[in-house]
Amino acid sequence: MGRDQQSVMSPSFRRRRIVALTVVGAVLAGGALVVGTISGQATHSLAGVVASSAPSPTPASLPIPVHTQAGPSRPAPTGSQHPATVPTFNGSARSIDDPTSLWVVVDKARALNPPDYVPPDLVDVPVPHVWEPRLRAEASSAVVSMFAAFTAEQGLQLQSHSAYRSYPTQVDVYGTDVTEHGQAVADTSTARPGTSEHQTGLAIDISSLPAECAFEACFGDTVHGQWLAQNAWRFGFLLRYPADKVAITGYAYEPWHFRYIGVDLSTEMHRTGVTTLEEFFGLPAAPTYP
């Protein structure tokens, strides 16, 4: 062998050749490289060459931490999985005893206190009517909105038959019913003075215009009655005396009698499927007078 060949084949030259070939292979392959047989010095040299020679990874090829990945938009958690994120209904937000409260519960076992209570904010209700209706201001506005929505959605009309009744008026109404039908029958259809929802200024008796099945159970089968039963909650009203709750309310089915309780409570009762105030607030049934 000549000197040139010896130089080329010397150990130091062979090591340099291995490193160079390995670097070229790594650059061409663009992949990861592990060299276990190269000295520490050569390894450092190689790492520098690979780092400077390999193409920079594109953003799409970079790993994305799981906690920062953007996912599809989702609605806010609801239900029992995340109860802390769901606004809860406050059942004690209003009194059920104060006659001025929108949630006051009046039935045969819960008379108004005082019995001759007069609502403080009665106003005339500007809707079609048989007898001129008056209600508390908030309930009046809700009735106007409900009647207008019914006409817009159904092309028909509703009218008021009876709204606020004072204590003296209720004395006359109940007395007439007792005279005509006897007390036992009257107590299933007309409240005794001091226990009528009409005295709160929050209750209204509704019929179709022109009247069909007024103050009769068949009103519940009309387009008007069915719409009210399905939609009155949207405006803060409750069908107060359902057909299947006579043992709770103490009154026969009245598909025309609606009680204003406010949209917050009516929405919650609609959501939960509870149909009487007694059941919703955990009160005793009131089928008879004490």
Task: Tokens 């005794």: give the residue.
Answer: 192
Neighbours of 200 (CB within 10 A): 23
Q: By the 8 A CB rule, do 198 and 164 touch?
A: yes
Identity of residue 288: T
DSSP 108-177: TTB--SSTT---TTEEE--S-BSS--EEEHHHHHHHHHHHHHHHHHHS-EEEEEE----HHHHHHHHHHH
Q: Among the options 180, 216, 254, 268, which is catalytic?
A: 254
Q: How far apart are alpha carbons 195 and 245 in whole angstroms?
A: 18
Long-range pairs, 172-181, Cβ under 8 A, ≥24:
none
Longest Cα–Cα distance of the chain, Å, equals: 141
DSSP 8-state symbol, 94: S
Q: By the 8 A CB rule, do 148 and 235 touch?
A: no
Would residue 212 show up in a list of annotated catalytic residues for this protein?
A: no
Beta bridge partners, 123, equal 135
Burial class (CB in 10 A: 0-12, 13-18, 19+), 30: exposed
In terms of Cα–Cα distance, which of 97, 117, 216 is closest to 170?
A: 117
Q: Which residues are catalytic?
A: 254
